[in-house]
Structure formats: C-alpha cells, structure tokens
Amino acid sequence: MGKFDGKVALVTGAGRMRGIGRAAAMAFAQEGADVTVTGTGRDPESFPDDEKAAGWRDIDSVADEITGLGRGSLALVVDVTKEAQVQDAVERTVAQFGRIDFLVNNASAPRMAAWAPLEELTEEAWHTVMDIKVTGAFLCTKAVVQALLSQGHGGSIVNVISVEAKISRANDLAYATASGALATFTHKAGKALAPHGIRVNGVSPGTSDTSRNDILYGYPRTAVWDERLESIPLGRAGQPEEIGNFIAWLCTKDAEFIVGQCIDMDGGQAA
C-alpha cells in the first residue's frame, strides 16, 4: 500500500532528466499516485549531452517511467502563463484519472533568462521570469483549486521557490524577486485555502545538482562548481531526489498540520 494510492498529482516543469520536477513526479508515483507531467516542449537539439546520449524524450520519458511503476501517466505540453492551456491540462487530468489531489508548481524560466546587472536588465527578461514563476503558479493553483473545491475532499499544493529570494546575487535580481513573490503567494494562499482542507506550502531549494545549473557551472562540473559548494555550510549540493521526496512528503497525512510554510532545503545557505 502506498501513501498516495488512488490519488492524482500534477507536476509542472517535469521534463528534465536531472530535475526536481521529474524527481517529484517519480516520488508521487512510487507512493501509488497517477501523475500528469507538463513541460514546454523543448527542442531536442537544446537537450544537455547526457539527455541526448540517453535518448531522453522530455516529459514522455518521465511518463514512461511512471507507467513502468504501474501507475497511470499523462504527458502534456503546457505554457503555464496561458490560462486556457492550464485549464485544459487540469481538465484533461480529471478526465483521464477521474480526480486531482496534488499540484506541484515547479515550472520556472531558464536559469539565465534574466541574468544581468539591474541597469542592463530588460523588461522582456523581467517579464519572462515573473510570468512563468509567479503568474504560472497562480494560474495553475487557481485551476486546480477550482477542481478541488468541486470535488470537496481537499488537497495539497507545493510551490518550488528558491533560496535566491534570501541570498540574491547581483545579477539574479529578477529570479530572486520572483522567488520572493512566490513565497508571499504561498503564505497568503495557504491561509486562504486551509479552511477548505487545501494545504499550500513551499520548498526553497538551495544550490542543487540539476541541469538548470549547467550554464553556470558546466556539465561535467567545473571548478566554479567546487567554489560554489564551499559556500554551502553542509559542503554539498542538493540532490533532485531528496527535494522531490520532500515535496511529496508535504502532501502526505504526516504533514497535514503544515500550512502556508516555505521550507528551505539548502544545506544551510540561507541560515
């Protein structure tokens, strides 16, 4: 018996082989949930070399892994900044599995989408980061909450934020600001939805060994990565699986008294 037998999760931004979204989706499936995974429909030519070598197929590969565990899966290309696409994804999830119980807002702009000094940061880059990380989380949450309220049995939502909101670097203004906004959204939505039995919480990963960090630290990792690890009190990076497992745990009955919290998983970076 799994903790999520008979339950259904929707995880956004879940197509990367070395990613928190994939790890979270697998954590739900391993505990018995059927899972919808969404991605942006990345061009395979843009895949990291290890994904190309593995014959990786983005969200379709994740869906296959979920099916391999004996669980139902649904892979959808979704732009989370488009309300109609988000609503369609939720409706297709309910149509496929008969219900929805959990949402993980993991979709985010590329790490370097708005990496620039403030005086050089463009409005377009600013909006790209804010729209995906903040507006996307809002639209997904709204659509899933409407379904949860209709079902009447509560549910759980986890927002993947970032400790960059607390330890912002000079060229990371947009991403850090978006992370701070998502943290505030988490606190407010948690309080607003708790009376309906819908819990909203957030996880703020620190430096993590995911493909999103390849552009900053290379892959295989360069000496810059080792320098970054030296700034982490625990002395290592976070692993996608430990973050994904914790996201899933926040949706279990063991965590049902946790509401509106943003929990750092950063090895002490923001302590």
> Do residues 64 and 71 touch, judged by C-beta distance below 8 A?
no
Q: What is the pLDDT of residue 220?
A: 95
Q: What is the pLDDT of residue 110?
A: 86
Q: What is the pLDDT of residue 111?
A: 77
Helix (H) / strand (E) element for 104: namely strand 102-105
Given 175, 185, 217, 246, which residue is catalytic?
A: 175
Give the β-pairing of 262-265 and 8-11: unpaired
Q: What is the pLDDT of residue 181?
A: 98
Q: Count CB atoms within 10 A of the CB of residue 76.
A: 20
Q: What is the pLDDT of residue 107?
A: 98
Q: Would residue 219 show up in a list of annotated catalytic residues for this protein?
A: no
Rounded Cα distance, 19 and 11, in Å: 12
Report helix angle 20-30 to 59-68, nearest 10: 20
**Residue ranges in the chain whose pLDDT is less than 70:** none
Q: The tokens of 109 are what?
A: 């702009």
Q: What is the pLDDT of residue 166?
A: 94
Q: What is the pLDDT of residue 179?
A: 96
Domain 8-265 adopts which CATH fold? Rossmann fold (3.40.50)
End-to-end CA distance of the chain: 37
Residue among 86, 85, 36, 41 at smallest CA distance from 63:
36
Q: What is the pLDDT of residue 106?
A: 98
Q: What is the pLDDT of residue 160?
A: 98
